[in-house]
Structure 1
Amino acid sequence: MVSSSEQKRSGAQVAMPQPVARVLRRLGQDISAARRMRRLSQEDLAQRIGTSLSTVRRMEDGYPGTALHTFLRALHVLGRLDDLAQAMTLENDALGMELVREQLPRRVRTSAGRKRQAAPVVDKGDAPAPADDLEGF
């Protein structure tokens, strides 16, 4: 396997998968549309995210060499960064959650040789339960 630093030195490039290229172009187009809806020029956006005009143009064109932090700073300036963060939450990762569910044990047993004994029930009337009785629940 060739590391990315070796690829850069040798000039070898890994082909961009088409789905990734499409999403990158779409993200750039969406950033461009959001910028224009806010009546910002490319120069305004470049100044606000601290980069050059040519970098904004490449980002909006979906150029794969544009740094991720440039996209993230643009989304922040456009007020859309939280949308990306929300899309990436674990709750929205259906495949990841399904993989975790598949690895859950069918049943859980007590440790071998140590059986848990039920604690004796003591009627304490209306007195609140001590905090450590509920620990872990």
Structure 2
Amino acid sequence: KFDLNLWEFDMLATLRRAGAPYRLSPTALFSTLMVTSGTMTHRLKRLEASGLVERMPNEHDARSMLVQLTSRGLELINRAVGVHVEEERKLLEALPAVALAQLDAHLSTLLLSLEGRPAGADVPDAND
């Protein structure tokens, strides 16, 4: 729909989640996305050629560069995320409110487990 493949969506969404000014170091990007530095370099070149990201000097470290969404990249990922969230909402609308609350609580427990935090920490009550 937006002429983005999965890795492009993931990379643009990761930069968007970083918050304004929507930039990260290449190391932070490939660590978050769990790809090799070589894969990251190839992907960055493709997104740069598409005008969706740009590399810029790191003002805090002259030896490194940062990757930033361009205004075109930000506009595209904002539209794509909006449609994605709406599609997820439609998938879940068949569930009653109680089931959604239980699903939310169970997914929170799973996330805490994956993060190595104790079960029950900051988990909403399924009956809330």
Same topology, TM > 0.5: no
- Kindly indicate which of the two structures has a greater share of residues assigned to strand: 2
- TM-score, structure 2 length as denominator? 0.26
TM-score (norm 1): 0.25
- Using CA pairs under 8 Å that are at least 6 residues apart, name the structure with larger relative contact order, 1 or 2: 2
Whichever of the two has the greater Rg, that structure is: 1
